[in-house]
Structure 1
Amino acid sequence: MNILFATSEAVPLAKTGGLADVAGALPKALNARGADVRIVLPKYEEIPDSYLQEFRLLAEFQVSFGWRNQYCGLLAARIDGVTYYLIDNEYYFRRSGLYGYDDDAERFVFFCFAVMEAVRYMGFHPNIVHCHDWQTGLIPFLLRTRYAFDPAWAYTKSVFTIHNLKYQGLFGMDLMKELTGAGDDMFVPDKLEYHGAASCMKGGLVFADKLTTVSGTYAMEIQSPYYGEGLDDLLRYRSGDLVGIVNGIDTESFDPMNDPELHTPYRNSLSRKRKNKTELQKEMGLRESADTPLIGIVSRLVEQKGFDLIAATLDELLQEDVQLVVLGAGEWRYEELFRSAAARYPEKAALWLGYSDRMARRIYAGSDMFAMPSKFEPCGLSQLISLRYRTVPIVRETGGLRDTVQAYNEYTGEGNGFSFSNYNAHEYLDTVRKALAAYGREEVWKRIVENGARADYSWSSSAKAYMDVYSQLSADRKESEPWPVIS
C-alpha cells in the first residue's frame, strides 16, 4: 500500500509542535507494517544543512494556481528509512519560521497545488494521500474537484487528520476564490465557507474520504458545541467517517536508558532517576534535594494549556514543600507569571524561556510529576513522554489526556497519574496536593510509577489502527471508475 503523507512539518526536518512528531514518527511505524509511506513538506529555510545535503533534485516544473505560474522544485532523500520529498520555492518558503506571515494563504494554497503536480514526478503512485491540519486541507478538495479525472491521481483516496480543530486556516473569501480558481458554488456553508470566511480546514473535513483525530475522546468532544469550534454540526454529520486514534511517541528517541542528554541513565530505578533531579536542580539554580517533589512543565505558554489555573494557584502551591521547573514561551502574561515566581521563590521555581530539546528531556527525566491541566487537548505528547520517563502526570480529564492517564485509586492500587474533571483552579490544586501526598509515601509512589511503566506508548498499536483505516478505504474502492466531480 502506497501512502503519501502531506504535512507542513515533520521531524527531523522542521518542527513547531506535536504535528511534526506525529508526521515524522508514524510513517516509520506504518512502514514496519509493510506499507510504503512517504512524506512531502515544504523546503523551509530552517531545515538543517546536514539533512539538505542528502536531497537530490528530481524535477523542476511550474505550478499554476489563480493567475500565478510559480516555479517548483521537487527534491527527495531517504532519512531514517523513510523517503522525504521537499517542495522548493524560495519566494514562499525561504523565510525564518514556518508560519505567521501575511501571505500564509497563498503559501499553503501553492503547497497544496504543488503536491498535486509533484506526484507526476515522484515515480510513486499513492493509493492514499494522508493530509494533516489546515495547511494541507485543500488537497482532498482538489482531489475531488480539479484533479478528479487526472491519471496521476487515479483511484487515490484521501484521509484528513485533525491535530487541533482550533486552527482552521481562515482567510478572506475573495482571496481564496482567486487563489484556488474555484467558483462561488464552492464557497457555501456545506463546502468551504465558514461564517463569511473561507476555511482550509473544511477542505479536508468536507471532501476527505476518511477523517481521523488524535484521540478517541477528542473525536467525541469535537462533535459538541463546546469543543467543536463552530464545526460540530459538520463533524456530527460525518461521524461515521471520523475515527479517533491516540498518538504514540518514538520510544527509541525517548528512552531514559539511552538518552544522551541525561546525567544518569535509568529504567525503573527511582534512585537513579533522582540523580537526574539533583542535576536539574543544580543547573536551574534550585535548592538541591533528592527528597523534595519537583513538578515539571514543558509547554507552549498559552491559555489552552491551562495556565490560568496554574496562575490562580501558583503562590498557594509554592507555600508547599515543592519545586517547579517550567520550559516554554508564549503569551507575555504567562511568561511574566513564571519570571516573577522565579524571582520571588528562587530556591523553588525556575523558568527556561524558549525551547531546548536538551532541557526538555532533562525536565522529563528530572521531574517527579508533570503538570498538564489543559482546557482542551486533542492528544498531547508530553504526558506520554513523561510516563516514558517514569514521571507521574497531573492532568485534566479532556481529549487524549483522559485516554492515556488514569487517576490513581488508593483502594485498588490502579492508575498511572492524577486527574480532575472540571476546569477549576482549586480542583487542579487539590489534585496536585493529592499527588504530593502520594509522593510522601514511597511504596505508593513506586506503585504509581510502575503502573505507568507497564503501558505501551509506542506507535505500534496506533499504526495498526491507521492501517485498518487505509485498508477499509482500499476495500471500498471501485477501480472501474474514478471519483465523480463535485460541482
Structure 2
Amino acid sequence: MAKTKLLIVTHEMSPFLELTKISEITRQLPQAMQEKGFEIRILMPRFGNINERRNRLHEVIRLSGMNIIIDDNDNPLIIKVASIPAARMQVYFLDNEDYFQRKYVFRDKESKFYDDNDERMIFFCKGALETVKKLGWAPDIVHCHGWMTALIPAYIKTTYKNDPTFKNSKVMYSIYDNCFTETLNVDLHKKAIMPGMTAEHTKIFEKADCNALHMGAVTYSDAIALAGEHIDDAMLKFVKDSNKPTLAYNLTENFENFYSMYEEISNEELVSIA
C-alpha cells in the first residue's frame, strides 16, 4: 500500500526557529507520523535569524528560480534545504531577500509589527504551493500550522483545485492562540487573489486581523485542530458552526489523535468546499 504523504507547512520549527509552542509540535508531529509510515515534507520561511551554517542549509538549485507575483511585482523565490539527522526528515526553507532577510521575525527591534507582514504571508503561502508542485510530490494531507499559513487552504480549494498535485489533497488547519493583536494591511484580501479566484473567495479575510485569517482558513479546510488553550470564544463558535471534523485542545497533545484524524479525512470522500 502506498504511503500516506503528509505536507507540514509552518512558520517555525525546532531547532531552526523557536518562538512559540508551534515549534515543538511541528518538530514532534511529523516524526511521530513518519514512524507510522507516512512520507513527510516540511516547508517554512527562511527568516534572517535562522543560522544557515549551524543548521547546514544549502540551496536547492533545481527548485529555486521561480518568481512569486504579489501586487504586480515579481519576487524571486530561493529554496534551501536542511536535514534533521535524528529523524531523517528534510525541511525546505523559502527565502527571499526583501521579505525574510531581517534580524527579526514579525516585529522590528522596537517591537513594531512589520508593515509588509501581509505580503510576506502571501509570498510564503503561494511559494509553498509552487515549491511542492516543482517537487512533483502530491500530498494526501496538507497540515497548516498558524496564521502565516492561513491562505493555503483557500488556494488549494480554488486556484489549485484541479491541479494534479493538489486535487486530491485534504487540508487540516491548526489554530493557535499566540497570534498578533494588530491588523495586516487592509488590502490583504485584494492582494491575496490568485488566478481562478474572485473577490468573493477572499472576502472572509477582509478584516485582516487574526480571527479573520483563522476563519478564512477554517472555511476552506477539511478538518481543524484547536491547538491553543486560549482561543477566542467567537473563533471557537465559528469552528463549531462549521461542522468540520475538529480535534479539541485536550486531544492535540496526543499524536495518536492526529493520526486518527488524518486517516479519517484522507479516507473520506469529502465534498469540495469551493
TM over 0.5: same fold? yes
In structure 2, how many angstroms separate the alpha carbons of the residues matched to 1:65 and 1:161?
Answer: 25
Give the percent of matched residue pairs that are identical in Structure 1 and Structure 2.
22
Q: Distance in 2 between matches of 1:196 and 1:463?
A: 30
Contact persistence 1:42–1:93 (CA under 8 A)? yes
Distance 1:128 1:466, change over 3 A: same
- Cα distance in 1 between the residues matched to 2:160 and 2:182: 22
Question: Contact between 1:7 and 1:40, CA under 8 Å: does it hold in 2?
Answer: yes
Quote how far apart the aligned CAs of 1:15 are. Answer: 1.7
The answer for the alignment partner of 1:75 in structure 2 is 80
CA offset digits 1:390-438 (Å, max 9, x no partner): xxxxxxxxxxxxxxxxxxxxxxxxxxxxxxxxxxxxxxxxxxxxxxxxx
SS of aligned partner of 1:180 = coil
After TM superposition, the structure 1 = structure 2 runs for residues 82-121 of structure 1, keeping only pairs within 5 Å, are 82-100=89-107, 101-121=114-134
Matched, 1:201 2:204: no
* Partner-residue secondary structure (3-state), 1:151: coil
Per the alignment, residue 33 of structure 2 pairs with: 30
Distance of 1:168 and 1:201 partners within structure 2: 13
Structure 1 residue identity aligned to 2:67: Q
Classify the secondary structure of the residue corresponding to 2:165: helix
- Residue 54 of structure 1 deviates from its aligned partner by 4.3
SS in 2 for 1:153: coil
Map 1:128-167 → 2, pairs under 5 A: 128-164=141-177, 167=180
Q: Within 5 Å, give how 1:385-464 maps onto structure 2.
A: 462-464=254-256
Residue 259 of structure 2 corresponds to which residue in structure 1? 467
Alignment partner of 2:241 out of 208, 214, 237? 237
Change (3 A) 1:206 1:16: same
- The amino acid of 1:42's aligned partner reads P
Aligned-residue offset at 1:245:
5.0
Residue type matched to 1:468 in 2? Answer: S
1:75/1:122 CA distance change after superposition, 3 Å: farther
The answer to whether the 8 Å contact 1:168/1:201 transfers is no
Structure 1 residue 70: deviation in Å? 1.4
Amino acid in the other structure paired with 1:70: N
Please, which runs of 5 or more residues in structure 1 have no aligned partner?
A: 249-458
Output the amino acid matched with 2:160. Answer: Y
1:184 aligns to 2:189 (yes or no): no
1:239 deviates by: 4.6
> Deviation of residue 242 (structure 1)?
1.7
Q: Contact between 1:173 and 1:198, CA under 8 Å: does it hold in 2?
A: no
Query: What residue is the counterpart of 2:137 in the other structure?
Result: 124
- Matched residue, 1:214: 227
Q: Is the 8 A contact 2:147 2:210 kept in 1?
A: no
- Out of 3, 7, 11, the position equivalent to 1:8 is 11
Structure 2 distance, partners of 1:109, 1:195, is 12
Contact 1:134–1:169 (8 Å) recurs in 2: no
**CA 1:167 to 1:237, structure 2 compared with 1: closer, same or farther past 3 Å?**
farther
CA contact (8 A) 1:214 1:245 kept: yes
Higher alpha-carbon Rg: 1
The structure richer in helix per residue is: 1
What TM-score results when the alignment is normalised by the length of structure 2?
0.83
What is the CA-CA distance between 1:37 and the residue it aligns to? 2.1
Structure 1 residues 197 and 34: alpha-carbon distance in aligned structure 2, compared to 1, 3 A threshold: closer
Deviations 1:325-373 (A, max 9, x none): xxxxxxxxxxxxxxxxxxxxxxxxxxxxxxxxxxxxxxxxxxxxxxxxx
Shift of 1:244: 1.8
Question: Matches of 2:257 and 2:209 in 1, distance apart?
Answer: 37
Change (3 A) 1:187 1:129: closer
Task: Specify the SS of the correspondent of 2:94.
Answer: strand
Root-mean-square deviation (Å): 2.7
Whole-Å Cα distance in 1 between the matches of residues 17 and 46 of structure 2?
A: 9
Counterpart secondary structure, 1:171: coil
Of residues 58-67 and 171-180 in structure 1, the stretch that sits farther from structure 2 once superposed is 171-180
What CA deviation, in whole Å up to 9, does each residue of 1:217-258 have, x standing for no partner?
x4xx75xxxx42x3344122025422125488xxxxxxxxxx
**Aligned ranges for residues 266-281 of structure 1 at < 5 Å?**
none
Q: What is the alpha-carbon distance in structure 1 between the residues aligned to residue 30 and residue 237 of structure 2? A: 31
Structure 1 residues 170 and 201, CA gap change in structure 2 (3 angstroms): farther
Residue in 2 that maps onto 1:335? none
**Change over 3 Å in CA distance of 1:127–1:9 after alignment to 2:** same
**Cα drift, residue 92 of structure 1:** 0.6
Shift of residue 176 of structure 1? 2.9
AA of the residue aligned to 1:200: L
Supply the distance in 1 between the matched residues of 2:208 and 2:92 (Cα, whole angstroms): 35
Structure 2 unaligned segments of length 5 or more: list them: 108-113
Mapped contact 1:141–1:207 kept (Cα < 8 A): yes
Which letter maps to 2:150?
Answer: G
Distance 1:183 1:141 in 2: 12
Specify which structure has the bigger relative contact order, considering alpha-carbon pairs within 8 angstroms and separated by 6 or more residues. 2
TM-score between the two structures when normalised by the length of structure 1 = 0.49
